[in-house]
Amino acid sequence: MEVKPDRLAAHLAAGPLRPAWLIAGPEPLLVLEAADAVRAAARAQGIAEREVFEAEGNQREPDWNALESSFRAPSLFASRRLVELRLPTGKPGVEGARVIGEFCVDPPADVCLLVTCGDWSNKHGGKWSQAIGQLGVVVTAWSVKTHDLPEWIDRRLRSKGLDADQSAVQRLAERVEGNLLAAAQEIDKLALLSDGTRIDGARMDDLVADAARFDVFRLVDAAMNGQPALVSRMLAGLRAEGDAVPALLGMVVKELQRAAALARVQARGGNIAAEFKAQQIWESKQAAYRRALQRHPAKRWEQFVAQAGLADRMSKGRAAGDAWIALERLLLAVADPKAQALLAS
C-alpha cells in the first residue's frame, strides 16, 4: 500500500498500525514528520519499546545479523516493539534486502518495522521495498515542486489554525525559496504571533523574516550538501548585502568543528549516532553531514578548521589576503573535493 505524506495522519487514525513501514524521499522535513507520526501512533497503541539500527563507525551498512536476531528475540518490556532501520542512502545491499524480505514473508507478531531512507529516487527500491509495500505501507516524500509550494504552505497554515490570503501565501513561498524547513519554522512563528485575523501580503511582510535572504545557516547547509554553485551564489548575495566575513565565520567555524568531531569518531569506528546527539545536530540535518563526511577524511576536516582560522585573521588584517576569497575557496572545497586545490592557491 502506498500513502501520500498528506494522507498519512488519516491513515494512521483509521486502524491498527501495519507491521511494516517504508518512509523515504529527498525532502528531509517530510520524511522526519512522517516517521514521527508513525512513532506517535505506535506509542498511542501501546508500543513503548523501540530499537534503532543504522550504520556505525566505518561500517557502510547496519549490523544485519543483529537486526535479524532482534526480529527473533522476544520483547523485554512490552507486548510489541518498534524496530527502526535507518538507511541514509536508501540501499540495503544484498544482505539487507534479504533480511527485510524474510521479515516481510513471516513478520513476528510483536514487531513493527519502520525503515527510513534519506535518499530516494525511482532508481531506488526493489524486491525488498515491494515486500514492505505488500505487507505494510510505503510513504514517499518527494520534494515539493515550485508551483506546488503555495498550496503546501496554505495547507500547513490552515493546519495551524491560520488564515492567509493568496498574496500572503505567495509572499511566504517567495521568501523561503523551496526550503520546507524554513517555511515550517516561519509558520510555527506565525502561529505564535498572529492575532487571529486574516493575514494579507502586507501583514505577512511584517510578521516573517526574509528566509530567502542569503544567510549563513543556509550557506553552511549548501556546503555540507555538496552544492558549490549555490555556495558561490549565496556568498555573492551576502557580500552585496553588506555582511562582514567575521560575522559569518562564527557559524562556519562551529559547523566545521562539529564535522571534524564527527569525522574523528567515524575514523576510529566509534558511535556516530551518539556523536550526532552530543553535537546536538538535528535529525533532519544528519543526512547532509553524512554525505559531507563521505567526501572528506578526518584529517581534511581539521585542515578546513585551520583554513577558517586563516580567513578570520585575513578579515581582521592579521594575515595577508582577501578574506572573502579565502572563505569562498574554503566552502567550495567543503562542497566539492575537486576544489581542494583552491586552498593551496
- Is the domain 216-344 a CATH 1.20.272.10 member? yes
For 160-198, the pLDDT digits (tens) are 898 898 988 988 887 776 778 888 888 888 888 777 888
The predicted structure's pLDDT at residue 59:
63
Residue 241 one-letter amino acid? E
Tell me which CATH code domain 146-207 carries: 1.10.8.60
When mean pLDDT is compared across 82-86, 173-177, 179-183, 230-234, the lowest value belongs to 173-177
Q: For residue 214, is pLDDT > 60? A: no
Which three three-digit cell numbers place residue 272? 556516530
What tens digit of pLDDT does each residue of 118-156 get? 877 777 778 899 999 999 999 998 888 878 889 999 999
- Sorted by where each begins, the domain ranges of the chain are 5-140, 146-207, 216-344
For residue 316, give every residue at least 6 positions away whose Cβ sits within 8 Å of its Cβ, in sequence order, or none.
246
Q: Are 34 and 5 in contact (CB under 8 A)?
A: yes
Closest CA to 114 of 19, 230, 16: 19
pLDDT band per the 50, 70, 90 thresholds, residue 278:
confident
| 3-class secondary structure, 270 | coil
What does the pLDDT read at residue 56?
65
With cut-offs at 50, 70 and 90, classify the pLDDT of residue 344.
Answer: low
* Average pLDDT, integer, range 12-23: 90
Domain 5-140, CATH homologous superfamily name and number: P-loop containing nucleotide triphosphate hydrolases (3.40.50.300)
- Note if the pTM is more than 0.85: no
For cell 551498512, name the residue.
Answer: 61
Range in 33-37, 191-195, 311-315 with the lowest mean pLDDT: 191-195
**pLDDT over 60 at 26, yes or no:** yes
- Given a contact cutoff of 8 angstroms between Cβ atoms, the answer to whether 288 and 224 are in contact is yes
At residue 76 the predicted structure's pLDDT band, cuts being 50, 70 and 90, is low
Long-range contacts at 305-314 (CB < 8 A, ≥ 24 apart): 305/253, 305/256, 305/257, 305/260, 307/333, 307/343, 308/249, 308/252, 308/253, 308/256, 309/253, 311/245, 311/249, 312/245, 312/246, 312/249, 312/253, 314/245
Whats the size of the chain, residue-wise?
345
**Does residue 57 contact residue 270 with C-beta atoms inside 8 Å?**
yes
User: Which three-class secondary structure state does DSSP give residue 18?
Assistant: coil
Query: Grid coordinates representing 42?
Result: 505506535
What pLDDT, on the 0 to 100 scale, is given for residue 306?
92
* Secondary structure E strands in 157-261: none
Confidence band for 91, pLDDT divided at 50, 70 and 90: confident
Same fold, 146-207 and 216-344: no
State the pLDDT confidence band at 75, using cuts at 50, 70 and 90.
low
> What pLDDT is attached to residue 284?
67
